[in-house]
Every structure is written in C-alpha cells, then in structure tokens.
Amino acid sequence: MKIKYNEIDKSIEIKDELRSHYLLLKIVMILNLISAVFQLLDINETGIGFIEIILFIVGIISLIILCIFIFKKSTSDKIPIEKIERLTKKSIFGKKQFSLKLKNGKKRDLTELKSETEFAELKKLFSEIGITN
C-alpha cells in the first residue's frame, strides 16, 4: 500500500501516478473537443449527416468528461486530514473502486488499492487518526 500518514504535517501522502494519467486524459478530451468543433464548423456547407451527429456526440461526451476531471476529481498527492470527509468504496461491473471523499466536494481516486485487505488496513489507519467512515 503506497498510502502513508505523515504525523508531522497531519496529512495523508499518496504515491501514485494519478496526476500524469489525468493530465493525459484531459489533453485527449481537449483534442477530441477541438477536433469535433473544427469538423462541425462547416456544417452549413455540408449539411447534417451521420458523421456530424457522431462528432457532435463525441464533442459533448468529451466536454462532460473534461468537466468531471476538472471540477469533481482531485489529484493531490498530499491531503491534509482536515480536508478528508470519508473513505468510500463502490463496485462497478464487479470491480471495486476506492476513493477519498474530500470536504470541498471532490473525490481522490485510490488506484493503488486492489483488494479488500488493503482497504481494511486503510480503514483501520483512518479510524486510528480520527477520520470516520
């Protein structure tokens, strides 16, 4: 488990490459959005067809995902304890995903947690430092 509690700073330190992964995803979503906008600029000349509908859908989905990554997700490597609300677990298609719910409304995904035992260890650590679930 690459999550450590720093007693001096009273913060949780997470060592993963989530910041670079999310940056790459943001760049791809921006490129998708720009591509869709440029392709749809000459819609008056070509008319609305199947390709234009697909590009419009791709642009809207890219915009939604980009907004989620900017406004709802956090990539902080060092999170003060007073900013953590709780530890959450959800299951999507049978795969468990763990995250930290922050008090500012954002979520910090914990991609390094792979099993229930690591989740139980982290839950025990959080209960020791005073974060309730």
Q: pLDDT tens digit string along 26-44?
A: 999 999 999 999 888 877 7
pLDDT in tens, 110-127: 888 777 788 888 888 888
User: What does the alpha-carbon distance between residue 44 and residue 38 come to, in Å, rounded to a whole number?
Assistant: 13
CB 52 within 8 Å of CB 43: yes
Task: In whole angstroms, give the CA distance from residue 49 to residue 14.
Answer: 47
Which contiguous run of DSSP H or E holds residue 3?
strand 3-6
- The torsion of the CA quartet 117, 121, 123, 128, rounded to 10 degrees, works out to 160
Contact 97, 91 (CB under 8 A): yes
pTM attached to this predicted model: 0.80
